[in-house]
Amino acid sequence: MTKDTSARVTARGAAIALLNAVLSEGRMLAQLAAPDGLSPADRARAERLATETLRQLDRIDRVLKPLMRKAPPLPVLNTLRLAVLELSQGTAAHGVVNEAVNAIRRNRKTQHMAGLVNAVLRAVPQPLDLSTLPAPMLPRWLRQPLVHTWGREVVTAIEAIHAQTPPVDLTPKAKATDLPEGERLPNGSLRLANPGQISTLPGYATGDWWVQDAAASLAARLLAVKAGDQVLDLCAAPGGKTLQLADAGAKVTALDISDARMSRLRENLARTGLSAELVVADALTWQPAERFDAILLDAPCSATGTLRRHPDLPHIKDGSEISDLVALQAALLDRALGWLKPGGRLVFCTCSLLPAEGEEQLSAALERHPTLSVIAPEISGVDAAWISKEGGLRLRPDYWSEKGGMDGFFMACLKKA
């Protein structure tokens, strides 16, 4: 990400830099770091501002379009977008406008547009409520197959959830004693609407919980491991499911191809006092020394089920990678089945909304392996309507919409004869 070294580093300036990197360079927010010189609080604020601007981008552009004859260069446009977001959040208008104008003036390439920025922002209607505008639509490559699968009404409901700032879900340890105040969800997760700084919450330092979307937590519960089971968590990082399996008393081997991502799992294991054997390797070439009682395969996928938390994805992806991902998922699934003991269980899951990475993947696996059977989901918090005709669990963002929704997942528990 390029940095304007002539500019004083502020949270707003860092947020604009992040937006420029996503929208001009096609880089994901998770791969970017805010410019140096920011305090941890300002760094977190910059990331929040950039994320929320991307989430509301279509609505923000609807506000700006009638106020300009044509779109200015992207750095200027992103400065305007961020300012409109802050105005909609009730931030003092004079401060927002002055900061935006000063940011444009500090950059030699854009300083001649300071007057435009000032005029446009002073013309933004106040008070401004972005939620009254239509929710941003999914990109065409994703929306079309979802409309074909579930219909326009469902997809519109999903888009409405994507437009909301998601709550934070925590998975408590079985013997947790120190938890922050929040809403207990039917599956046992703890949901916080406005958590603030995560590391300052009760129970963080003592390792009583970890951050994990409620939908994601269902995969480990579906596997239903017992104390002493030999379990493989395949494609494990960043490790929420590993922590669940270890907390249930299983002897966990956690494998992932990325050592950088695995570092987060090491940190969370240390914080929670849980243990697992960590292996950094390619699952397509790695070979275990012995077979496992159970395997959890959270396969690489399009991540389209996580758009409510990652609104940068529609600006990065175009769907061209789906066929390669489907082939990789099938290869990992076939390989993992060979590592199961007879009678062992495997949960296959993807954080995808696309049937090609879920329902169709399960049907194809059952055809390739006639001796496999699907174990019906029997876990708390699951509505019978969420179970697909193939026997898997289809989770959608519009489920629990009155509570803030959930990430999109498909998961199924398979038993080896």
Query: Looking at the annotation, which residues are catalytic?
Result: 351
Q: Are residues 402 and 387 in contact, defined by beta-carbon separation less than 8 angstroms?
A: no
Under a CB-based contact definition with an 8 Å cutoff, are residues 160 and 398 in contact?
Answer: yes
Q: How far apart, in whole angstroms, are the C-alpha atoms of residue 67 and residue 120?
A: 6
Q: Does residue 238 have a cis bond before it (omega within 30 degrees)?
A: yes
161: Cβ contacts below 8 Å, ≥ 6 apart: 308, 397, 398, 401, 404, 405
Q: What sections of 224-283 are H helices per DSSP?
A: 240-247, 259-272
Contacts 24+ apart (CB under 8 A), 186-193: 186/380, 186/381, 187/214, 187/217, 187/218, 187/221, 187/379, 187/380, 187/381, 187/382, 188/217, 188/380, 188/381, 189/214, 189/217, 191/167, 191/403, 191/404, 192/167, 192/168, 193/167, 193/404
In degrees and rounded to multiples of 5, residue 278 shows phi and psi of -105, 130
- Write out the two tokens for 395: 């989770």
387 three-state secondary structure: strand
Rounded distance, CA 57 to CA 78, Å? 10
Contact present, 299 and 256 (Cβ < 8 Å) = no
Cβ neighbours around 35 below 10 Å, total: 20
β-strand pairing of 230-234 with 251-256: parallel
The CA-CA-CA angle for residues 84, 87, 88, to 5°, reads: 90
Q: What is the DSSP letter of 391?
A: S
